[in-house]
Amino acid sequence: MSGWDKFVETFFNAKVMWKYLPDILSGMVVTIELALLIIVTGLGAGLALALLRSLAIRPLNWLIIFIVDLFRSLPPLVIIVLMYFGLPYAGPAPSGFVSTWLSLAFVLMAFSEEIFWAGITSIPKGQWEASRSTGLSFGQTLFNVVLPQAFRLTIPPLTNRTISITKGTALGTVVAVTEILGQASSAMSNSYNPSPLMMGAAAYVVLFLPVVVAARWIEAKFAWKR
Amino acid sequence: MIEAFFNIEIMKAAWPIVLTGLWNTILLSLIVVPLGLFGGLILALLASIRHPLVRWPLMAWVDFFRAFPPLVLLVLLFAGLPFAGLELDGFACVAIAFFLNTGSYYGEIFRAGIDSVPGGQVEAARSTGLSRMQAMRYVVLPQAVRNVMPDLLSNTLEVVKLTSLGSVVAVPELLYEARQAQSITYNPTPIVMAAVIYFLLLWPLVRLLSRLENRALAGRR
């Protein structure tokens, strides 16, 4: 067997790949579920915190800033490990899936709150005053005047953050979540062949590369022209 | 609750182990941050050659590593390469994975910085007799770096946090040591200690960044 054949036989073994394809596909489903949950809850909570912050209640804002800082400074893997291995000592024992979901949702919440908040504060005070003086309520001003402008400004940084945090679903493998990397690793140790790992890697590229390319496009489209 | 998460006895026992981990995390960061910066600078300098034959493969390279989770890259190097007859230890794998992954992020940032320097600057520099390299080195790069300083710092924060992935491939950094201490003592206090250390270590940087970012986004209009 030539060197090339041996390489293909090892890393792209058709028999092994065919056997473990269903595992990788089910891993992809788990990764997608996890990613969507993280995005919806993380961005939702981040926006909610930013809106709460705009009410300008001092002690509440300090609390929000502390929570945001906390989840920006802790490595996501540390939060996941703490939740999965630590919480059971205090009572509730979240599954690996729930630990990964909540941890990454908290992280995305923290980052997106910062971005939403920066967007809201970037709208000049005069716009608030003008809207209020025409008779719009605080809520109407926020939702009809400030947020539509703020959103546009926040989209490029938000897409980048969301992608890099969603990629973190791979960390779930450390707490036994059966997402792509988890499935690929166990398939590799069962078959003693790295082909499943190559499939797993390909699965990530298939899932995330279109998102990265789309993000590049969005970034260019929403950038403020100088 | 306090017994489980803030156990003083366990803290005393675990302190030396956790401290070793902290020291290794700092050392690891001091190696992988410059490595990533170096990789990023190479990518950005290549990108400043605006030839399509250079530009497109480079963009594909950067997008590929932005799409690829760093942990998957790390596992691929650590568990996959031995099948090709190349066995690297955890530390070497972390170094290579970070060079590829964080290098791409740093590269994008440097590229944005270089693009932000007006073309007239290069023309002016070249007309005074500076070579292309000199113009880049003395005129463009200093301004580029200053323009993207918040992004560089923010990425560096992410890189330091990312060193915790080393625990998966048995690099004895902070999280790894804390988990070792946890499995010896049957108590999660060491992991809480690690979390507190990460927070105290990185909080000042987060505060600084939050200020810089607010100012940058507000100033863009």
Domain-by-domain residue ranges, chain A?
Answer: 23-180
Residue of B nearest to A154 (CA): B217
Residue B79 has pLDDT above 60, yes or no: yes
SS3 B82: helix
Pick the CATH number of B2-218 from 3.90.1150.10, 1.10.3720.10, 1.10.287.3510, 1.20.120.80: 1.10.3720.10
Contact at CB, A89 and B75, closer than 8 angstroms: no
Contact at CB, A204 and B68, closer than 8 angstroms: yes
Q: Which of A28-32, A64-68, A192-196, B201-205 has the lowest mean pLDDT?
A: A192-196
Percentage above 90 pLDDT, chain B: 61
Question: Could you report the per-residue pLDDT of B36-68, keeping only the tens digit for each?
Answer: 999 999 999 998 887 888 888 998 999 899 889
Question: What does the alpha-carbon distance between residue B151 and residue B1 come to, in Å, rounded to a whole number?
Answer: 39
Contact at CB, A75 and B198, closer than 8 angstroms: yes
Read out DSSP for B3-39?
HHHS-HHHHHHHHHHHHHHHHHHHHHHHHHHHHHHHH
> What is the interface pTM, i.e. ipTM, of the complex?
0.89
Question: Could you report the per-residue pLDDT of A41-51, keeping only the tens digit for each?
Answer: 999 999 999 99
Q: How far is CA B125 from CA A39, B117, B121, B129, B141, in A?
A: 47, 12, 6, 7, 13
pLDDT at B221: 47
B58-63 long-range contacts (CB < 8 A, ≥24 apart) are: B61/B104, B62/B104, B62/B107, B62/B108, B63/A209, B63/A212, B63/A213, B63/A216
More confident call, A118 vs B216: A118
The C-alpha of B88 sits at a distance from chain A's nearest C-alpha, in angstroms, of: 16
pLDDT at A130: 92
pLDDT band at A224 (very low <50, low <70, confident <90, very high): low
The C-alpha of B182 sits at a distance from chain A's nearest C-alpha, in angstroms, of: 9
pLDDT band at A226 (very low <50, low <70, confident <90, very high): very low
Contact at CB, B69 and A167, closer than 8 angstroms: yes
In this complex, is the C-beta atom of A96 within 8 Å of any C-beta atom belonging to chain B?
no
Residue of A nearest to B63 (CA): A212
Question: What does the alpha-carbon distance between residue A213 and residue B198 come to, in Å, rounded to a whole number?
Answer: 33
Contact B10, B194 (CB under 8 A): no
Residue recorded with tokens 């394809």: A21
Tokens coding B123: 């023309």
Read out DSSP for chain A?
--HHHHHHHHHS-HHHHHHHHHHHHHHHHHHHHHHHHHHHHHHHHHHHHHHHHHT--HHHHHHHHHHHHHHHHS-HHHHHHIIIIIGGGGS----HHHHHHHHHHHHHHHHHHHHHHHHHHTS-HHHHHHHHHTT--HHHIIIIIIHHHHHHHHHHHHHHHHHHHHGGGGGGGGGT--SHHHHHHHHHHHHT-SHHHHHHHHHHHHHHHHHHHHHHHHHHHHSPP-
Which DSSP category does B188 fall into? S
In this complex, is the C-beta atom of A185 within 8 Å of any C-beta atom belonging to chain B?
yes
pLDDT at B199: 96
Nearest to B202 among A11, A73, A118 (CB): A73
Which DSSP category does B117 fall into? S
How many Cβ contacts (< 8 angstroms) between chains A and B?
149
Best mean pLDDT range from A148-157, A164-173, B6-15:
A164-173
Question: What does the alpha-carbon distance between residue B129 and residue B131 come to, in Å, rounded to a whole number?
Answer: 6
In this complex, is the C-beta atom of A203 within 8 Å of any C-beta atom belonging to chain B?
no
In this complex, is the C-beta atom of B220 within 8 Å of any C-beta atom belonging to chain A?
yes
Q: Which of residues 33-72 of A touch B (CB under 8 A)?
A: 68-70, 72
Domain segments of chain B as ranges: 2-218
pLDDT at B220: 53
pTM: 0.90
The chain-wide mean pLDDT, for chain A, equals 90
Question: What does the alpha-carbon distance between residue B130 and residue B128 come to, in Å, rounded to a whole number?
Answer: 6
Question: Could you report the per-residue pLDDT of B90-112, keeping only the tens digit for each?
Answer: 999 999 999 999 999 999 999 99
What is the architecture of the domain spanning A23-180? Orthogonal Bundle (1.10)
pLDDT at A157: 85
Residues of A in Cβ contact (< 8 Å) with B188: 82, 85-86, 89
Residue of B nearest to A156 (CA): B217
